[in-house]
Amino acid sequence: MSLIAAGIIASFTVPEYIGTNPQSTFWLLPLVAAIAVIYKATKLPTITAGKFAREAVVLFGSIIVFIVITALALHALAWLITE
């Protein structure tokens, strides 16, 4: 087995470092992208490259916007409660 292959496999045996900082919330983005892509792949009657990409991007953006709004609302609620 080549060194590169061994290195790739070895990277799956040790967890990555994820800091407890605001940047760690960006780990949400690939997940939302996967959900948007799978949902559109199951829902569209026919798959064409342009339409599929556009619909998936719109859904991705919608989910992100909704999450941001929810986060702001919860942050405001927490601020009100703790003030």
The reply to whether 50 sits near another protein by the rule CB under 8 A is no
13 contacts another protein (rule: CB under 8 A): yes
Q: What gap in Å lies between CA 47 and CA 56, rounded to an integer?
A: 11
- The smaller minimum CB distance to another protein, of residues 41 and 74, is found at 41
- Does 23 bind another protein (CB under 8 A)? Our answer is no
Site membership for another protein, residue 15 (CB under 8 A): yes
Q: Cα dihedral angle (56, 61, 64, 65), rounded to 10 degrees?
A: -150
Q: In this chain, which of 3, 16, 22, 80 binds another protein, going by CB under 8 A?
A: 16
Half-sphere exposure of 37 (CA within 13 A, CB side): 8
CA–CA distance, 24 with 31 (Å, rounded to integer): 13
- Binding residues for another protein, rule: CB under 8 A, are 11-20, 24, 27, 30-31, 34-35, 37-39, 41-42, 47, 52
